[in-house]
Structure 1
């Protein structure tokens, strides 16, 4: 919000907000004038306008565009408010920010609800909005969807109070990944006790004793474990367990299926034990 306009650029007046009996005039950043009644501002907002402005003589400059203000000011009058159900994110995002900035109470909650509906499509933008305004439940909702974003990119944009919680949250996922890899090593060592001293493949051919084969079906466990481990390469991969363990379907032995099932279950249990970010906060 700025002081009176000294701009020589021509301005037009909003067709919706052009009442002659208004006592406050706002000018958008793209030079549209909005004639608003101070009574409605005082009743329905907490951030309009500062007392130091003589709004009967001055035009108050705002940093928002006309399209955002056109929506925002409809929320301060006793009328049916705009239906934001189909409002695209590029329109909703600046509106939600303006509602928070100027404390337009009747718009704040509906904007928050609609922003939440874009958690999957606009995860980062929604998370940053929620973090800025203290909606930590929404921050937690978006957290697991942003594990693919480099941590430094997130930390540079988070408010200070969320930096340490975010680092701890990401580290908890890294611990799950480390445990998954460690678990596999233990299982591989344990399965070496299954096999006889001489190894044969399914066609009866002698094979190297360096590999580990299931005593029941001669399934090459080392190859199977290697397939899984190659894909357990980041914390993002922990969200693709169906794909990573999908090759196990080709195993015919219940013994071997049980090994991979236990491995996957251990990962899923570790993931379920991760504290939501809101808990850390």
Structure 2
């Protein structure tokens, strides 16, 4: 191949048309061609791959124009390259769930820094619909906060489904999940949590001033509905998330809003429930 960089009108030495950059008006020299698993070829810039990722060779090591095969599809590779440009990031909020999971894995594989937290945040948003997939992702990439949130949403999932999703990853993940679920049932954590929901509110009620009592009752009823699973699976939703959604659906005065957010009543209720969740942790086995 020629030692010159590809430009928009050039052809490669083998006569094939050179791809152009997918980002309009990009002025960086094209000195790499990346071929997706389905055969589509993409122009790339060694200096940008070196800047935004830790898994591509340093720019100074690229001699001439190199063509490389990657295992990702054209759809995924397109988004990866857009993340590695000084350009607005692609909107991934409405991606189909399997596509998002493939993108999140590719971002971790190539350590594409601008996209890692973005993908993690989007994966967190899917925890209610695809908790096992989120658990697998979070365990594989050591996102402990997301792992500890996702695992509670998986305990009612049939073991065959969990195995089918996790079998191609580290077998320790599946073993740790199995032991976690066993310990959860052994401690009757879900039954005790149901009791603690009411007991915690009774404790918190003593810290609510009379002027706020009516609103507190409506607010706490809504929190209990959420914690018991009228809208989500019981026990697994975090207390803070339930409280946040309860506020969104209620009109409240400034005084009560301040109390709900900062007062000891809410803190006491939260502590009584979070203490139970901490009795069983994946840290015991993984």
What's the TM-score bracket when you normalise by the shorter of the two chains?
A: 0.5 to 0.7
**Partner secondary structure for residue 34 of structure 2:** strand
Specify whether residues 179 and 270 from structure 1 end up closer, same or farther in structure 2 by C-alpha distance, changes over 3 A only: farther
How large is the RMSD of aligned CA atoms in angstroms? 3.8
Deviations 1:160-217 (A, max 9, x none): 554554343212222135997xxxxxxxxxxxxxxxxxxxxxxxxxxxxxxxxxxxxx
Specify whether residues 109 and 90 from structure 1 end up closer, same or farther in structure 2 by C-alpha distance, changes over 3 A only: same
CA distance in 2, matches of 1:99, 1:270: 35
**Partner secondary structure for residue 29 of structure 2:** coil
Structure 2 residue corresponding to 1:108, chosen from 116, 134, 139: 116
Aligned to 2:142: 134
Structure 1 residue corresponding to 2:54, chosen from 46, 69, 76: 46
1:174 aligns with 2:185: yes
CA distance in 2, matches of 1:121, 1:173: 21
Aligned to 1:33: 41
**Partner secondary structure for residue 56 of structure 1:** coil
Contact 2:107 2:115 (C-alpha < 8 Å) held by counterparts: yes
Mark the runs of 5 or more structure 2 residues left unpaired by the alignment. 1-15, 192-232, 237-272
Deviation, structure 1 residue 15 = 6.4
Deviations 1:80-114 (A, max 9, x none): 11122222212211111111001111011100110
Larger Rg: 1
Deviations 1:252-277 (A, max 9, x none): xxxxxxxxxxxxxxxx9996563243
CA distance in 1, matches of 2:65, 2:20: 19
Specify whether residues 92 and 127 from structure 1 end up closer, same or farther in structure 2 by C-alpha distance, changes over 3 A only: same
1:117 aligns with 2:128: no
Instruction: Give the 5 Å matches for 1:1-281.
Output: 13=19, 16=22, 21-49=29-57, 56-151=64-159, 153-154=162-163, 156=167, 159-162=170-173, 165-177=176-188, 272=277, 274-277=279-282, 281=286
Contact 1:27 1:62 (C-alpha < 8 Å) held by counterparts: yes
**Partner secondary structure for residue 135 of structure 2:** helix
TM-score, normalised relative to structure 2: 0.55
Count residues with an aligned counterpart. Answer: 190
Deviation, structure 1 residue 129 = 1.1
